[in-house]
Structure 1
Amino acid sequence: MKFPPYILLILATILWGGNFVIGRAVTGEIPPFTLAFLRWCLAFLVFFPLAFKHAKRDWPKFKGHWKIVLVLALTGVAAFNTLVYIGVYSTTSINASLMNSTTPIFIYILSFIFLKERLSRNQMIGTAISLLGVTFILSGGSLESLQQFTFNKGDLIVIVAVFCWSIYSLLVKQYADRLPGFSTFLVSIAIGALMLLPFAIYEHITLDSPIIWSVKTIGAVFYVGILASIVAFLSWNYGVIQIGANRASIYLNFIPFFSAIFATVFIGEQLKLAQVIGGLAVIGGVILTNRN
């Protein structure tokens, strides 16, 4: 059965929106490095039968671009979600998902700096609007916070996570013709999980009670490892194949929308005016940058 592309793309954003809320919901019950490590171990086990033949066939390509594969594993697998899980210890899942919406803006900035790509007028204006929106969210709409530069530590960590994801996304775009996405994802998962292993072991050694096993924590691992990783990834890729990356990218703006719904319904977060205003500015800026 073939699903319409908009169904697949919306499903992916629903699952990714839930990822931020899950990370927030299990803070204090499962440490961030351990959650990220278990997530990718489970994702590898599920994805391996689907992608192993592709990875075996494409192995010479990985050997020829091993440095890029390592960076992809570091930024997209090991760093991004781990930093998000660390960040939501100190900030809300709504803020984290709003920060994630700035990914296209960071990609434009990185493309301008490192690839010397020219920015259009709409891209420059949209970038400025989105960055103003981020600043508004970070400061909570408080002029005093801006003057004293007293931003939430968790928000800043999530910004670093988004920067890592932007590097990953830019490299995926640049090497799409040399590194096939399906098999590269499997290899990146394996390498990223190995990168996370020593940190997860360190958490286990240094924390008295590294994991509080319960239905909630087990469910969280299965959610992030299968739904937010494999199902969302495959849904997104098949959706992009049908309508193209540019048209699909606008659907990413649904992530904070679904995250806000889940956060308010399931974990009792409150949507604040500063988040609404800043979020609208971020999303409006992203939409503007995608206009010709």
Structure 2
Amino acid sequence: MKFPPFVLLIIATLLWGGNFVIGRAVTGEIPPFTLAFLRWCLAFFVFLPICYKQLKRDWQQIKAHWPIVLVLALTGVAAFNTLVYIGVYSTTSINASLMNSTTPIFIYILSFIFLKERLTKYQIIGTAISLIGVIFILSGGSLESIQHFHFNKGDLIVLLAVFCWSIYSLLVKQYSDRLPGYSTFLVTIAIGAIMLLPFTFYEWSTLSGPIVWSGKTIGAILYVGILASIIAFLSWNKGVVQLGANRASIYLNFIPVFATIFATLFIGESLQLAQIIGGLAVICGVILTNRK
């Protein structure tokens, strides 16, 4: 069955929106490094038969760019989701998903600093509006928090995660003509899981209590390992091919929308006025930066 590109992109963002809520829902039952490690192990074994033949064909090409592949594995696989899962211990999944909407802004800033790409006036204005929105979300709309730089630790950790994802996205963009997509993704999953292994072992050795193995935690691992990793990835890539990267990027703004709906329906989070105002500012800024 062939789906139109907008349906594929909405499926991807819906599943990614759920990833933030799942991470928040299982805090206290399965620790963050363990969740991230098991997620990518499952994703690897599910994805391996899909692109094994491509990997054999592309191996020498991937090997020729191994330093970039290592950075991709570190930032996109090992760091991003792990930091999100750590961050949602101290913040809401709504806040975390709103922070994720700033990814295009970070990419523009990194492109300006490292690639010397010129920023248009729309990108500068949009970046300023989005950053104001981020500060509004971080401070909860409190002027006192801004004056004393008293922000939620979890929000700052998620912002660090978004910074890692922005580096990953920029490298994917820069090396898209030199690194094959599916097989490179499989290799980065494997390397990222290996990077997470020592941290996972350390986490197990320092746990104050046992991991709660229940239908909820197993369901969470299956969700993030198959739906949020493989199905979302394949849907997103297919949608981007059909619609184009620039037009598809706007759909990323659906992630906080879906995360907010899931968080309020399933884990009892409430939407605050500061989140609405800050989130709208972030999304408006992102849309403005994409204007030609």
1:232 counterpart = 2:232 = yes
Question: Does the CA contact (< 8 Å) of 1:122 and 1:291 recur in 2?
Answer: yes
Deviating beyond 6 angstroms after TM superposition, the runs of 4 or more aligned structure 1 residues are none
1:10 counterpart = 2:5 = no
1:181 counterpart = 2:203 = no
What residue in structure 1 maps to residue 200 of structure 2?
A: 200
Write out per-residue CA displacement over residues 22-71 of structure 1, whole angstroms, 9 at most, x where no aligned residue: 00000000000000000000000100000111111111112111000000
Distance in 2, matches of 1:10 and 1:287, equals 17
Distance in 1, matches of 2:157 and 2:101, equals 15
What residue in structure 2 maps to residue 34 of structure 1?
A: 34
Deviates more, 1:55-64 or 1:44-53: 55-64
3-state SS of paired residue (1:60): helix
Offset of residue 231 of structure 1: 0.2
The 5 A counterparts of 1:71-220 are 71-220=71-220
Write out per-residue CA displacement over residues 49-103 of structure 1, whole angstroms, 9 at most, x where no aligned residue: 0011111111111211100000000000000000000000000000000000000
The 5 A counterparts of 1:63-78 are 63-78=63-78
Offset of residue 208 of structure 1: 3.6
What residue in structure 1 maps to residue 282 of structure 2?
A: 282
Distance in 1, matches of 2:23 and 2:88, equals 7
| Matching residue's letter, 2:36 | A
Question: Does the CA contact (< 8 Å) of 1:203 and 1:210 recur in 2?
Answer: no
Question: Does the CA contact (< 8 Å) of 1:84 and 1:96 recur in 2?
Answer: yes
Question: Does the CA contact (< 8 Å) of 1:73 and 1:192 recur in 2?
Answer: yes
| Matching residue's letter, 1:186 | L
Distance in 1, matches of 2:288 and 2:208, equals 49
What residue in structure 2 maps to residue 252 of structure 1?
A: 252
Aligned residues with identical type, % of pairs: 82
Q: Where does structure 1 lack aligned partners over 5 or more consecutive residues?
A: none
Distance in 1, matches of 2:81 and 2:143, equals 31
What residue in structure 2 maps to residue 272 of structure 1?
A: 272
Offset of residue 209 of structure 1: 2.7
User: Structure 1's 212 and 113: CA in aligned 2 closer, same or farther, altered over 3 A?
Assistant: same
3-state SS of paired residue (1:192): helix
Q: What is the aligned-residue RMSD (CA, Å)?
A: 0.5
Count of aligned residue pairs for this structure pair: 292
Offset of residue 210 of structure 1: 4.3
Question: Does the CA contact (< 8 Å) of 1:31 and 1:210 recur in 2?
Answer: no
Distance in 1, matches of 2:143 and 2:245, equals 38
Distance in 2, matches of 1:11 and 1:53, equals 27
| Matching residue's letter, 2:102 | T
Distance in 2, matches of 1:221 and 1:39, equals 6
Distance in 1, matches of 2:193 and 2:57, equals 22
Distance in 2, matches of 1:52 and 1:101, equals 33
What residue in structure 2 maps to residue 22 of structure 1?
A: 22
User: Structure 1's 290 and 74: CA in aligned 2 closer, same or farther, altered over 3 A?
Assistant: same
Distance in 2, matches of 1:233 and 1:209, equals 34
| Matching residue's letter, 1:127 | T
3-state SS of paired residue (1:58): helix
Distance in 1, matches of 2:199 and 2:249, equals 33
Distance in 2, matches of 1:250 and 1:144, equals 33
Question: Does the CA contact (< 8 Å) of 1:21 and 1:263 recur in 2?
Answer: yes
| Matching residue's letter, 2:250 | I
Deviates more, 1:147-156 or 1:59-68: 59-68
Distance in 1, matches of 2:258 and 2:32, equals 22
Distance in 2, matches of 1:76 and 1:273, equals 31
What residue in structure 1 maps to residue 62 of structure 2?
A: 62
Write out per-residue CA displacement over residues 101-131 of structure 1, whole angstroms, 9 at most, x where no aligned residue: 0000000000000000000000000000000
3-state SS of paired residue (2:136): helix
TM-score under structure 2 length normalisation: 0.99
Q: Where does structure 2 lack aligned partners over 5 or more consecutive residues?
A: none
| Matching residue's letter, 1:67 | P
Write out per-residue CA displacement over residues 203-232 of structure 1, whole angstroms, 9 at most, x where no aligned residue: 111114341000000000000000000000
